[in-house]
Structure 1
Amino acid sequence: MTDLAAPSRPSPGSPPEGASGAASGRFVDGYLLYLLARASSVASAEFHEQVRARGVPVAVWRILASLKGTGEGLTVGELAKSCLANQPAISKTVDKLVAKGLVARQADEQDRRRVWVRLTPAGEAHVDELILEAQAHQARLVEAIGEGETETLRRALLRLIERAGSGAPFVDFDGFSEK
């Protein structure tokens, strides 16, 4: 009788054997969109834990980080797009941040339906601390793949985002949403 040991199976999170993932037999192991979502989820998890440990919900971090460097701020719609969230959820979170004095709302003078959101000085100070942690986390990720590959990846992702178009709808899934 021959020994028919079951072939070893990679765990769901392990990298594929070949560049395209074809060697594993699983379509998703080489599927670019899956890999992008998985990389985002894995890379974000550690930092999101750091943010939550400071008592800051991930949605708040995303809003404050998105507003940093905008000067006059963003509209609620622009903020929702930047935060990869829907507008009602962003509006509710912005309300809480206004109450805490971290952001301010201002109606657009030409279009009262448009509302601008900007950081207050307290919001600037709060997000600056979080950005230092984000930069340290990013530096560890860059160290793992190197400066050159990081810049290549950054350029490729920006081209991909541009090609996909700015009108793409928000998709709520693990890689980009707070659970």
Structure 2
Amino acid sequence: MSLSPTSSFVDSYTPALLAQVSQLISGEFHVIVQAAGFEISDWRVLSTLSDGKAVSIGRLAQVSVTKQPTVTRLLDRMEAQGYVKRIPSETDRRVTLVRITPQGQKLVSELIVQAKLHEDQVLAPLGAQKAEELKATLRMLIDLHRPAA
């Protein structure tokens, strides 16, 4: 493992570094997701909904890094399977919210445990303080660059 900076542009360009680390770490976990019989897109949607809160389709697309028409098609299938339920927003008639069902929660719960274990393994070499600082910095970057609602 090389920790020394190089003279290559992409080796010090933040978007390239973020993309590389995302691909590497996600790729490791995607093997586990697929072995459990999930499509990656299903995992992203169900894990986003796993806290039980209703989420708009637009927000779901943003967090799951999936285009909104693709999310809509996924939701059609997942709703037919009984994993999610669409509900109208009480405050905005234009917005449809999505909530995970008990069946969907049961399906994704073991994978959530595995995801947390994988995250612990990934972050362990950093130590607890650096791991929390990394997460805080990433959340800040997301907030700074998230499109206005």
TM-score by length of structure 1 reads: 0.76
Q: Which residue of 1 aligns with 2:4?
A: 17
Q: How many residue pairs get matched?
A: 148
Q: Which residue of 2 aligns with 1:167?
A: 147
- Distance in 2 separating the partners of 1:48 and 1:167: 27
Q: Which residue of 2 aligns with 1:132?
A: 113
1:48 to 8, 18, 30: 30
**What per-residue deviation string (whole Å, max 9, x for no partner) do you get for residues 61-113 of structure 1?**
11011112243x11111111111111100000011110110101123355443
Q: Secondary structure at the match of 1:28?
A: coil
- Displacement of 1:32 after TM fit? 1.3
- Displacement of 1:49 after TM fit? 0.9
Q: Which residue of 2 aligns with 1:118?
A: 99
Q: Once superposed, which parts of structure 1, at least 4 consecutive aligned residues long, lie more than 6 Å away? A: none
Greater Rg by CA = 1
Q: Secondary structure at the match of 1:104?
A: strand
2:127 to 140, 143, 146: 146
Q: Give the gaps of 5 or more residues in structure 1.
A: 1-13, 169-179
Question: 8 Å contact 1:15–1:29 — kept in the other structure?
Answer: no
Higher relative contact order (CA 8 A, sep 6+): 1
RMSD between aligned residues: 1.7
**AA partner of residue 128 (structure 2):** E
Please tell me whether residue 155 in structure 1 is matched to residue 136 in structure 2.
Answer: yes
Q: Give the gaps of 5 or more residues in structure 2.
A: none
- Distance in 1 separating the partners of 2:58 and 2:4: 42
Higher helix share: 2
